[in-house]
Structure 1
Amino acid sequence: MPAHTLDANLTNKGKKRLALCIVGKVLTSKLVKKDIFIDVMNKVWRVSGGVDIEPIKGNVFAFYFSNEEDKMLVLRGGPWSFDRAIIVFDEPTGTGDVSNLKFNSIDFWVQIHNLPLICLNEEIGISLGSLIGEVRDYDPSVTVDGSGRYL
């Protein structure tokens, strides 16, 4: 069969769609019921432009957003879970080959409690946080609740 070149407009449309896509994997040994998962995630996220959720394979799903704001709202709003299983996201690149996605990291907010006053600063907060993983962000406010002070 002869090789064919895709129309540039079709390729550009695919690139735009891929830029608004994230792929998620529900980390559980049980097979997720696709219809229920899609229904629940649409209700939980309630993004302004909506999201198209397409099952890929097993517990892996593609999420196509209509705008960057909705995509970032979901990525920043996590961690997300379904039926007591964490959902790990990855952003496809290049042609969007899902087999290249790793699903090997997730962001969590961490609170560090019972620090002496001398340790309530950004440098020590980042240093302590880096002991358990990569520190992506830091909240500079010191919070006090019933359990004491924490960063």
Structure 2
Amino acid sequence: MPSIRLTKQAVERGRRYCQFNLIGRLDFNKIKLEEIKKIALNLWKPKGDWKLVPLGKGFFMIRLVCEEDLRNILGGGPWRFGDQILRLSKWTPDFDPAIQHSSTAFVWIKFPKLGQQYWDYEILMSMGRALGSPVGVDKHTLNRDFGFYALVLIEIDLAKLIPQQFEVEEEEGKSFLQEVDVGRKKENITTTPQETQARKLQPLNNEKNHRGKEKT
């Protein structure tokens, strides 16, 4: 079998090109790429150069050159494209659309006994990433209408075991264990119509909306 050796510089150059990229997924039977581009431009208003690259099986790469755009897109949302919710993840070197599974579902995760100092959008979304791909935070959590538990909607791979707790580390070596309580589960993404998902995601708040309320 023929073989070649890639230089470290060439590989690093390729990874730098992809360092701010995201992977999106939509049903292209319901929406065309050009329409996605128009909606994305209106929703995201990217500050740097960007483009969408179809990868097959409903996946596409969101090519970004600006870390601020990456944070705004990944941390915002949920993003609606027609009657669909865009599923997002960070690009990884081993991503292959041909072998991506679909055993995922939107699940409401409760973080009980969480100190009030941690009821912050950015903190809660970071905690959600310990379990899967966070979609948003319940508005009653952000408004602190109750203090029993924080509630975060997370896209979770049901083929994997959901941990009962995980470690949260702070600066200066401080850490604590956070309990996980699996709340109500939304319908499996592979079987539920996208319009149902869009309707049920309405109560979610994103970071921009919440911080806008704080200023008023």
User: Counterpart of 2:33 in structure 1: which amino acid?
Assistant: K
Identity %: 19
Provide the residue aligned with 1:120 in structure 2. 146
Gaps of 5+ in 1: 114-118, 134-138, 140-151
C-alpha contact (below 8 Å) 2:28/2:58 kept by paired residues: no
Which whole-Å CA distance do the structure 1 matches of 2:12 and 2:96 have between them?
A: 17
TM-score (norm 2): 0.49
Residue 16 of structure 2 corresponds to residue 16 of structure 1: yes
Q: How many residues align?
A: 126
**Aligned residue number for residue 111 of structure 2:** none
CA distance in 2, matches of 1:91, 1:76: 11
Mapped partners of 1:132, 1:3: distance in 2: 51
Structure-1 residue corresponding to 2:188: none
Cα RMSD (Å): 3.0
How has the CA–CA distance of structure 1 residues 101 and 42 changed in structure 2, closer, same or farther, with 3 Å as cutoff? farther
Partners of 1:102 and 1:66 lie apart in 2 by 28
TM-score, normalised via structure 1 length: 0.67
Matched residue, 1:143:
none
Q: Judge which range, 37-46 or 15-24, deviates more.
A: 37-46
The DSSP-based 3-state class of the residue aligned with 1:107 is: strand
User: In structure 1, how many angstroms separate the alpha carbons of the residues matched to 2:19 and 2:84?
Assistant: 26
Task: Say which is worse superposed, 61-70 or 50-59, in terms of deviation.
Answer: 50-59
User: In structure 2, how many angstroms separate the alpha carbons of the residues matched to 1:73 and 1:102?
Assistant: 26
- The answer to whether residue 92 in structure 2 is matched with residue 68 in structure 1 is no
Structure with the higher strand share, 1 or 2: 2
Q: Does 1:5 align with 2:31?
A: no
Greater CA radius of gyration, 1 or 2?
A: 1
Shift of 1:46: 1.2
Q: Deviations over 1:92-139 (max 9, x none)?
A: 3233333455573551231349xxxxx733xx132x665247xxxxx9
Amino acid in structure 2 at the alignment position of 1:7? T
Counterparts in 2 of 1:64 and 1:70: CA distance versus 1, 3 Å: same
